[in-house]
Amino acid sequence: MGILVKLDKARELMSNDLLITVENQVATVTFNRPQQRNAINLAMWQGLPTLCQQLDDDAAIRVVIWRGAGDAAFSAGGDISEFAALRSNRDQAEAYNATVDAALTRILQLRKPTIALIKGYCMGGGLMLAAHCDLRIAAANAQFGIPVANLGALITYTEMQRFIHVMGVAATTELLLTGRLYDVREAQTVGLCTQVYPLDMIDEQVQKLTARMAKLAPFSQQWHKAMLQTLLNKPDINAITSEELARVNACFDSADYQEGTLAFLEKRAPNFQGK
């Protein structure tokens, strides 16, 4: 389908630094700054919540891939060249960090499954963004790190919480206090990525995966995502609200559930409509 017309407003906010394409119900968002190793500038962070809302609103989209242009970097992180003008003191940093956290939170809240397709450097804010995706699939040349101690900076509580959810306290502590880079196998061991492929195979493998995922029931994916976040933030099941508990059985009233069970009995592939 090419570039989505519906996403023009979001694209205007970010110029050509982000490219959005849709094919076979899969949206691909590409950080398009290869000369800067796909570093994410403030305008891009500001535009991401609008983009995510439009991705959610488009029923033709079932899965969202986030990736960097080229093979050298997913994203090297926030654009440090902007920091002197936009993040040079406490007040500026507070506003900048709030913008980044709002973008990351909105990515995490996307109702559709999200995949970070990681090649090369995945650093700083780039790794934060990848960590807020549901799945992280990496090429063999991927490297991961949060070297903020090299800048004398901190990540936020929201960002730290997500890393703890993804990789646990011990790995998060090492990542932050050592500032070192993880190779792809170390990253897979601690949960920063779930699958690893040779660089020349990863695009094909992700395409196969998303083709399968796009055929699954949207409500099942959406509500499982919501349930996961509920449990991560409310480990005491007794604290879960009646509205949150109701999600478990609400799917049985959906047309997709009826279609899924009928398709199973008829020994055919289901045609889910997200209804």
pLDDT surpassing 50 at residue 1? no
pLDDT tens, position by position, 93-121: 999 999 999 999 999 999 999 999 999 99
Structure confidence by residue, pLDDT tens digits, 155-187: 999 999 999 999 999 999 999 999 999 999 999
Per-residue pLDDT at 7? 53
Q: Among 240, 24, 206, which Cα is nearest to 114's? A: 206
Closest CA to 199 of 114, 72, 66: 72
Average predicted confidence (pLDDT) for the chain:
91
Q: How many CA atoms lie within 13 A of 169 on its CB side?
A: 0
pLDDT higher than threshold 60 for residue 12: no
Q: What does the DSSP 8-state code read for residue 5?
A: G
Token pair listed for 119: 């090649």
Angle at 205 between CA 51 and CA 69, to 5 degrees: 45
Q: What is the model's pLDDT at position 15?
A: 62
Q: Which of 148, 202, 152 is nearest to 175 (CA)?
A: 148
Q: How far apart are CA 182 and CA 122, in angstroms?
A: 10
Residue range 196-238, pLDDT digits in tens: 999 999 999 999 999 999 999 999 999 999 999 999 988 888 8
Ramachandran area for residue 120 (φ above 0: left; ψ -120 to 50: alpha; else beta): left
Across 103-107, 146-150, 196-200, 256-260, least confident range: 256-260
Distances (CA, A) of 181 to 120, 121, 145, 174, 239: 12, 9, 5, 10, 38
Q: Is 112 left (phi over 0), alpha (psi -120 to 50) or beta?
A: beta
Bridge partners (DSSP) of residue 137 are: 117, 195
Amino acid 274: pLDDT: 81
205 neighbors 114 (Cβ within 8 angstroms): no
The amino acid present at 213, given as its one-letter code, is: M
DSSP assignment string, 160-203: HHHHHHHHHHHHHHHHHHH-PPEEHHHHHHHTS-SEEE-TTTHH
- Report field, pTM of the whole predicted structure over 0.85: yes
User: What was the pLDDT predicted at 192?
Assistant: 95
Rounded to an integer, what distance in angstroms lies between the CA atom of residue 200 and that of residue 91? 45
pLDDT in tens, 56-74: 999 999 999 999 999 999 9
Nearest to 72 by CA among 122, 145, 18, 16: 122
Which pLDDT belongs to residue 5? Answer: 39
Residue type, 144: F
